[in-house]
């Protein structure tokens, strides 16, 4: 599975959009981009995943560049409860395992 | 969404004892479960993949005789840390491949402290 690069930390004001970038320049054509988050001392939570088209669900939006070498997770109206570590993972669909990198610590501040 | 539970949520044990952690899929059947370990301020590290009715597949560097995994039913996998030592103190998290397209659900984690 391709490697991903994320900034170690980001701050965001409560109520504003949080835009979390991820670089995956070696992504293969059959690999999807997955996002999970982990709130302190809890298990990870699935957020969203996509292949090449932009995706949106009740939690977030995923914007993937046309060359698929990077993506951005958007939390449209961040709240204090969105403070967590966000992981961007690249993997083939129905792949056997999720491999977590270092992730981005998102701190939402009031 | 589908729910995965772990028991216990916290355990403190003496060095040299064995500790069993249970992972259950509460409302779905999971043919595949995964076990992760997470040290403070670090990311999750996959330890092993467990398939119901067969032996677990361990990641490189994980001692299979120390971390015994049993997946005897479609809703239960157990991780036993044998002869635990202080360096085994960690946050252990399981996940289960759930229903629906390519879903994986995580348990709340078990914090193990070995004195």
Q: What is the pLDDT of residues A6-43, one digit of tens each?
A: 999 999 999 999 999 999 999 998 899 999 999 998 99
Nearest to A43 among B32, B103, B109 (CB): B109
pLDDT averaged per 10 residues, chain B (length 115): 91 97 93 93 93 90 95 92 97 87 87 97
φ/ψ of A81, rounded to 5, equals: -75, -10
Question: How far apart are the C-alpha atoms of B27 and A89, rounded to whole Å?
Answer: 26
The pLDDT assigned to B91 comes to 97
Q: Considering only alpha carbons, which residue of chain B is nearest residue A45?
A: B106
Which chain B residues are closer than 8 Å to A103 by Cβ?
A: 43
**3-state SS assignment for residue B6:** strand
Q: Considering only alpha carbons, which residue of chain A is nearest residue B93?
A: A43
A100 at interface of B, judged by CB pairs closer than 8 A: yes
How close A57 gets to chain B, by Cα (Å)? Answer: 14
Q: Which residues of B make CB contacts under 8 Å with A?
A: 4, 6, 32, 34, 36, 43-46, 49, 91, 93, 95, 101-109, 111
Structure tokens at B16: 């040299």
E strands, chain A, in order: 9-13, 18-23, 31-38, 45-50, 55-56, 61-64, 70-75, 84-92, 104-109
Beta bridge mates, B46 = B36
């Amino acid at each position: 599975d391709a490697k991903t690069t994320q900034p170690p930390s980001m701050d965001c004001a409560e109520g504003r959009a949080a835009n979390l970038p991820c670089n995956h320049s070696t992504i293969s054509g059959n690999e999807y981009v997955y996002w999970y988050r982990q709130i302190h001392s809890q298990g990870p939570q699935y957020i969203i995943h996509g292949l090449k088209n932009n995706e949106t669900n009740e939690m977030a939006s995923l914007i993937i560049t046309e060359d698929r070498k990077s993506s951005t997770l958007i939390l449209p109206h961040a709240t204090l409860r969105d403070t967590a570590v966000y992981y961007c993972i690249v993997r083939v669909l129905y792949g056997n395992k999720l491999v977590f990198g270092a992730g981005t610590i998102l701190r939402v501040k009031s | 969404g589908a729910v995965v539970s772990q028991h216990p949520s916290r355990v403190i044990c003496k060095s040299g004892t064995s500790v069993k952690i249970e992972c259950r899929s509460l409302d779905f059947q999971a043919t595949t479960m995964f076990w992760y370990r997470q040290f403070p301020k670090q990311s999750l590290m996959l330890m092993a993949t467990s398939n119901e009715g067969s032996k677990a597949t361990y990641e490189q560097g994980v001692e299979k005789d120390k971390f015994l995994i049993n997946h005897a039913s479609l809703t239960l996998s157990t991780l036993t840390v044998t002869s635990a030592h202080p360096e085994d103190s960690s946050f252990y998290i399981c996940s289960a491949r759930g229903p629906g397209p390519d879903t994986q659900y995580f348990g709340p984690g078990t914090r193990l402290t070995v004195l």
